[in-house]
Structure 1
Amino acid sequence: MASKFFIRRGKRLLGMTEPGKALLIIAERILNEASNVRRLADLFTNDTSGVLTIATTHTQARYSLPAVIKAFRELFPEVRLELIQGTPQEIDVLLQNGGADIGIASERLSSDPLLVAFPWFRWHHSLLVPQDHPLVKASPLTLESIAHWPLITYRQGITGRSRIDEAFCSQGADT
């Protein structure tokens, strides 16, 4: 190879050249794919040991997964579980780059056709107001009428918020 990949001063490596940085990205991708090939091969052996990495939101890790993990460990004691907590967006990235085997969140993580989503459960949002609040008398209660009041809800990027925003937007109302 004629390209220089490293910036040197004598025997010391000081950094990487632009071609070196590009090569590093390709090398990381190759190593990641090699790891994916090993994982795939492991799936088709009778070996019930290894590591299963699950990326999930804090809500799922705290409330939904403890009983599931307990049952899984009883069935597969040789499998080491790794849990990674993140936002739905972070989980999506982990799944796409091979950093997690399974992603669990309360909403669909991605529209990426290479990721398959299965519904685990459904949940619904509720509106809570004091008994004397004007919305109690609103009939019918609409998203447009709710939009006139301050709303305490999830911040952007947290599970559930995108569904709330989509619902308000579809009715021409702002959150």
Structure 2
Amino acid sequence: MPKIPATALRFAYKGSRLKPLRAFCQVARLGSISRAAEALFLSQPAVTLQLQALERELGVRLLERSGRRLTPTREGDLLYAMARPLVEGLDGLAASFREQVRGLDAGELNVAAGSSTILYLLPGIVEAFRERHPDVRLSLHNVTGASGLDLLRSDGVDLAVGSMLDVPADLSYSPVYRFEPMLIMPLDHPLAGKRDLRLEDLSPYGLILPPKRLTTYRLVDLVFQQNRVPYTVALEVGGWEVIKQYVAMGLGISIVTAICLTEADRQRLATRSLARWFPSRSYGIVMRKGKFLSPQARAFVELIQPELLAPRAHDEGGHSER
């Protein structure tokens, strides 16, 4: 086999420089070679080799271990700031070009949201978006928690809408709506007309709650524990609609977020605010920091919160459903 000139080798390497830069940016963003490999659909050794090649070419160490995470060195921070816009710009070049050519009335938009958000919060927003941009293919991905965040990080969706309690460092959360915690019960329940309702008054009655892994159950448990009030769970079941139906049947009482209560619900259920003991729940927009928003995504965000797209918009808040 004829020997390949060294100049040709250098040219071939520089021709594929995007790959090691992309690998470096993913590791710097996610803090882990394994997570970067998953996001890039590569093996861990392949990502490691690309990082080593990049460090050899630049002659500096780009990453160092800090606890369980890999974090950029001083030189790595500089390269990340320079390389990230280039990598994201090239990765999004084809989609951006198509969007610019076809305009806003074409393309697609992927949004992650949990069941309660899709059912109670998004219908009006989706309706308005469809009226303004009928040619955009809108896909709502019914996912919550870690699954929704993984879709965001891997660019499987453009943005997410939901409720967050703890916000990872690589994501931004902008709360838009707040809803009160509510006690729901049958119309003829003893607590329905009780004056000066106390948390202790709930103790004799079995609660119908979402599964333990979801935020509502953990929050209910925390509040009762902090106030040293005993409580019992009569039934664990997923979905606000199922919970409301079982409460209406007299199988127990429940603590829900006001987002799920419709006018029809208020005619068949008695409701009492529990804002004295339980915090309100915020719902808003979750995005990956530094992500380029397509015109379709910007139009959707504009319908939810116009000021989010202003230059002085800032991050706050964290994710879970129910």
Please tell me the TM-score bracket, short chain as reference: 0.5 to 0.7
Amino acid corresponding to residue 123 of structure 2 in structure 1 = P
| One-letter amino acid of the counterpart of residue 111, structure 1 | V
Is residue 92–residue 109 contact of structure 1 (8 Å, CA) maintained in 2?
no
RMSD: 3.9
Q: Give TM-score scaled by structure 2 length.
A: 0.37
Return the TM-score normalized by structure 1.
0.60
Q: Distance in 1 between matches of 2:212 and 2:192?
A: 25
Structure 1 residue 109: deviation in Å?
5.9
| Contact 1:147/1:174 (<8 A) preserved | yes
Q: Which has the higher strand share?
A: 2
SS in 1 for 2:125: helix
Matched residues, number: 151
**Residue among 166, 170, 175 paired with 1:114:** 170
Find the counterpart in structure 2 of residue 30 from structure 1: 40
Aligned to 1:11: none
Cα distance in 2 for residues equivalent to 1:37 and 1:169: 52
Q: Is the 8 A contact 1:56 1:85 kept in 2?
A: yes
Q: Distance in 1 between matches of 2:204 and 2:89?
A: 50
Paired residue type of 1:29: A
Contact 1:129–1:135 (CA<8 Å) still a contact in 2? yes
1 or 2, which has the higher helix percentage?
A: 2
- Which of 128, 134, 146 is matched with 1:71 structurally? 128
Amino acid at match of 1:30: L
- Per-residue CA deviation, residues 83-116 of structure 1 (Å, 9 max, x unaligned), is 11123443233223332221122x2164202211
Match of 2:155 among 92, 98, 101: 98
Q: CA deviation at 1:153?
A: 2.3
- Give the conservation status (yes or no) of the 8 Å contact 1:55–1:102: yes
Q: Which runs of 5+ in 1 are unaligned?
A: 1-22
Check conservation: 1:51, 1:81, Cα contact below 8 A: yes
What is the CA-CA distance between 1:149 and the residue it aligns to? 3.2
Give yes or no for contact 2:112–2:161 (8 Å, CA) kept in 1. Answer: yes
Query: How many percent identity over aligned positions?
Result: 25
